[in-house]
């Protein structure tokens, strides 16, 4: 069954609802300047403490230095970290060596053949790949659909479990799963309230999970 990672969580109520509705991973954006769903370290730490349990908690970070990423993960006691920027392979190797129990998600903005080459390189070092839409101004969560054709090619040609992100919502996730065949799907803006983009619309999330996993 397809795994679902719900990202851009900003509060305990939403995170608990996502967990109870069947999300497989809970993601929190931390320290991303000008991102509407970004938390500071202390805000994230409080949520991680309250939510620690069976559902893995993922820290999404723009940091690229292994030491800084390790400090963040230890501060939060994170189960996993998602690298939003193209971190150098040597830094990922350091992370694995220093934090063997913390899973590493590596984001790739899908934009042609270079994305496939990056995925092939990462398959020796990361634990998961997250394919997102290409955007020069944002590190995900834009609601823009990724290139499904290239994403499918990456899924077929890499050994790593691949999460598809980018513009997914209750109305298109079933089609995305059928066409791309990813290990998992990743949603943020597609399940948020129209009136408050920092909060989850529980009906949207319920439908998203049903359609992704059916």
pLDDT of residue 144: 76
Is the whole-model pTM more than 0.85?
yes
pLDDT of residue 195: 87
pLDDT of residue 136: 56
pLDDT of residue 37: 94
Q: Is 112 left (phi over 0), alpha (psi -120 to 50) or beta?
A: left
Fold classification of 3-213 (topology level): TIM Barrel (3.20.20)
Say if residues 56 and 25 touch (Cβ distance below 8 Å). Answer: yes
Helix, strand, or coil here: 196? coil
Radius of gyration of the chain (CA): 16
**Which pair of tokens denotes residue 159?**
């050994």
CA-closest candidate to residue 10, choices 37, 31, 33, 36: 37
pLDDT tens for the 214 residues of the chain, in order: 999 999 999 999 999 999 999 999 999 999 999 899 999 999 999 999 999 988 999 999 999 999 999 999 999 999 999 999 999 999 999 999 999 999 999 999 998 899 999 999 999 899 999 999 866 555 555 567 889 999 999 999 999 999 999 999 999 999 999 999 999 999 999 999 998 989 999 999 999 999 999 8
Task: Indicate the length of the chain as a whole number.
Answer: 214
């Amino acid at each position: 069954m397809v795994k679902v990672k719900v990202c851009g969580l900003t509060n305990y109520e939403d995170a608990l609802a996502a967990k109870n509705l069947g999300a497989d991973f809970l993601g929190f954006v931390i320290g991303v300047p000008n991102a509407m769903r970004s938390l500071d370290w202390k805000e994230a730490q409080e949520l991680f403490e309250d939510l620690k349990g069976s559902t893995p908690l993922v820290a999404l970070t723009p940091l690229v230095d292994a030491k800084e990423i390790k400090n963040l993960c230890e501060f939060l006691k994170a189960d996993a970290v998602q690298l939003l920027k193209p971190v150098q392979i040597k830094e990922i190797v350091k992370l694995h060596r220093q934090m063997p129990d913390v899973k590493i998600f590596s984001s790739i903005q899908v934009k042609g053949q270079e994305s496939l080459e990056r995925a092939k390189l990462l398959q020796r070092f990361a634990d998961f790949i997250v394919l997102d839409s290409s955007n020069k101004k944002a590190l995900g969560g834009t609601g823009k659909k990724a290139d499904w054709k290239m994403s499918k090619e990456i899924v077929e040609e890499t050994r790593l479990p691949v999460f598809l992100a980018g513009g997914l919502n209750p109305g298109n996730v079933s089609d995305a799963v059928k066409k791309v065949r990813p290990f998992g799907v990743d949603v943020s803006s597609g399940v948020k309230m129209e009136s408050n983009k920092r909060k989850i619309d529980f009906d949207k999330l319920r439908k998203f999970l049903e359609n992704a996993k059916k």
